[in-house]
Structure 1
């Protein structure tokens, strides 16, 4: 029988993952727990194991695709395993009703594909990669009505494009109304830059179609909008409850979208499920429709020149689309790469922190001469024990000592309950630059560990982060963060807080600088510090006092022996 395998929930709160690499191909024999793919979720790369002993039948996602948790990514042929309901294979296993097994002439070997294709139409699944599904949404094509030319009837991107160009969408096959087809056709021509021959009819058709979608058939307010294509995205779903990841809800809020209005055919635990792509698509189509409607009405007032109608509508729709999506024109020689996976996760976290917590940064210089000398004395002893001793463990110990005296910097703001939470733990995150972006491994209970143990743990965690083998839980639970940009070069910066923490310390490069001492200029090792704080919780005076205490410990590291 055919066994479908869905992308599992590989971490708490993860709603999707980017497929990085397949380790198998169709026809390969696999054993249970054999790694078949690498998937990146949030800030970690995880192995996806096979759930069965069998043969790979089909790969349903491509490297680079962002796949929602719960979506089928691979199918297996499993011998000696009885079907759960019928020879419908994958459809029976997922609970999809099918009568494929009863169709005359349906061969047993084709049962899996027949089951999938038999439920196409309304709410059924089709074989299609996520990239093909995204393209279908962008072009306003109902993918359930597209005939697939790939293996086993799989719908490819070329199939979707052909359907869009030839009007072969499920909307027309399923009896889509003339209003929906007019709107879809008009929007499609405007998006594609079609300026030939029929400009006036494009504008008129768009104005008429948008008007009927907004006002209902026959001019009655609240009338039903078409059920597919671009028009379906314009109509609000109006559900009472919707499942979505917290990040998706934040995106909806930022875009001014009611998440219960976002159309979706995906269901989780009996409830409608919406992902970020659907939210953004809905917002863009709403904005595009509004802009096109306004443009069409404006064109109608200047109907004397038929050729100007479509040209104006094209410019208006294009401008509105660029404004809504933040589109960037690429010149010849420019290179594009996907803003996805870990890079997108980092970007979203930075955006949330910067626009949630009002940042204030306090800069200071530390005479690190004694610190440099102390490290030099201990470095040889650390080497003998197989530990690389950097300045970071010293700073970590100094930070937790200063936090004991200034606990307001070891806090989190509970906005829901309107309370400041003073954390009892001293868990320090250490930002690490990797090829995939910035990661923040967390060293727990720094106040309970010695320098060599801290050095060993930091080195191990940073190494795991750069090898992309670090576990998700090893980057959680931090209460304060240190970022050492001086290791690359630089003096001062304005670090972004690792939200929901309220402070982050940036370390500049330790360099020998001229310093005035007892009326003379002498050379001293100087360490620049940059402390960013959440000004809702931490006042500037609190930040300054914390840095002054930190300076005492860094300028005289022997004080750390008392801690």
Structure 2
């Protein structure tokens, strides 16, 4: 028998370190060639790491959330034959001896990790029987992590102050039902309470407590480690706010005519060419306006002191996923008509949400568009996607009274809330750019005139 080391792969693009996003194996498991053993996350994407050969897992190189250098030891296998490391070589150091809080280079932790869900995101509501996400399995509070597995029992109670294990969706549902979670027996791993346990509890007569139950004092706590995509988002936002002197500009836009045109086009061509949302029109308006404001379709390398302006519009589209905010890129938006743009936005957004977006679609944007749809609020102050110099935010459309030619009329109004890098974009230029976008949206025929 021999020892075979699987190391953190070099995935190119200058990546020097990665974060362990999920484990698909645990110590003692037998693995096969090409079996996925772990998910690692770079600044740009999540990558699956396959096993190189058949063997038995001896040690894992870290726990979920650890940052490892490229080339560091990821998994140690026992294999038939000689392997690639002499038998008897020193094992990985135990947790805490790798230095720098788990970010040591050569796999700084020995972890008996539980088998993780293939996806690092928590299960959606209603899927309470799924395996716990790594953040829940490895990063719950000390009280929760130490809670022993317990057999299901009707109306089981816990000690005062002992926090029951449950997913956020289960906690919210229990709150809505007026059920004290500490009274519910959990049938999941380590006594975790599932949606089925709430149903069983209610069926046994532990129905919502009579009026006033929502005012019961609550003392629970839960520590959620900031790892995986959430850590990358936090680092990106911190870097953007630290390095870029933001200023925001808000302008009201009358989209009544635009909405009429959109409804007309959807009626004529929706069945054959697809439905149009507001976003393709806004993308088109930005593309046309940027021709006169090249300093806004740019990236600023503040280390080198160089601003690069682009003729191509590679539009970042802020997309909410189960794991957090991602910004897939719609490349060459300037070369797309409305329907191609609409289809492109749907495609890249779906790729980001399902984790199937290729790496080239997760970087290289020159300006970003962000929208919260019907939740867009009245005004927002979006954060620039470093190293870009501008981001355009869309707020919700509301029908409000306006005075037009002396008459009070109902119009559909929307605010554009945008932010700019004041080091390279002057306030006057930012205002003129947004005014140009506004003019195009309020007279939509201009979008198609060259």
- Superposed displacement of residue 528, structure 1: 0.5
Q: Report if the CA contact (8 A) 1:57-1:77 is conserved.
A: yes
Q: Alpha-carbon deviations, 1:44-83, whole Å to 9, x = none?
A: 222111122444444343344433332222223333x5x4
Q: How many residues align?
A: 338
Counterpart position of 1:389:
276
Inter-partner Cα distance in structure 2 for 1:530 and 1:420: 24
Alignment equivalent of 1:550, drawn from 426, 437, 440: 437
SS at match of 1:521: strand
Inter-partner Cα distance in structure 2 for 1:416 and 1:132: 35
Residue 127 in structure 1 maps to residue 97 in structure 2: no
Alignment equivalent of 1:368, drawn from 244, 247, 255: 255
Counterpart position of 2:335:
448
Counterpart position of 1:42:
43
Alignment equivalent of 1:20, drawn from 19, 22, 32: 22
Residue 517 in structure 1 maps to residue 404 in structure 2: yes
Counterpart position of 1:283:
none
Alignment equivalent of 1:115, drawn from 84, 89, 105: 89
Unaligned 5+ runs, structure 2: 103-108, 113-217
Closer, same or farther in 2 for the Cα pair 1:345/1:27, shift >3 Å? closer
Q: Report if the CA contact (8 A) 2:3-2:85 is conserved.
A: no
Q: What is the TM-score of this pair, normalised by structure 2? A: 0.69
Please give the root-mean-square deviation of Cα atoms over the aligned residues, in Å: 2.6
Inter-partner Cα distance in structure 2 for 1:434 and 1:465: 7
Q: Report if the CA contact (8 A) 1:132-1:156 is conserved.
A: no
Inter-partner Cα distance in structure 1 for 2:38 and 2:101: 28
Q: Report if the CA contact (8 A) 2:30-2:54 is conserved.
A: no
Alignment equivalent of 1:476, drawn from 329, 341, 363: 363
Q: What is the TM-score of this pair, normalised by structure 1? A: 0.56
Q: Which residues of 2 match residues 346-365 of structure 1 at below 5 A?
A: 346-365=233-252
SS at match of 1:405: coil
Q: Which residues of 2 match residues 170-319 of structure 1 at below 5 A?
A: none
Counterpart position of 1:502:
389
Q: Report if the CA contact (8 A) 2:60-2:111 is conserved.
A: no
- Superposed displacement of residue 138, structure 1: 6.4
Inter-partner Cα distance in structure 1 for 2:275 and 2:25: 36
Q: Alpha-carbon deviations, 1:206-256, whole Å to 9, x = none?
A: xxxxxxxxxxxxxxxxxxxxxxxxxxxxxxxxxxxxxxxxxxxxxxxxxxx
Q: Report if the CA contact (8 A) 1:41-1:341 is conserved.
A: no
Q: Report if the CA contact (8 A) 1:362-1:531 is conserved.
A: yes
Rg bigger for which structure? Answer: 1
Closer, same or farther in 2 for the Cα pair 1:501/1:444, shift >3 Å? same
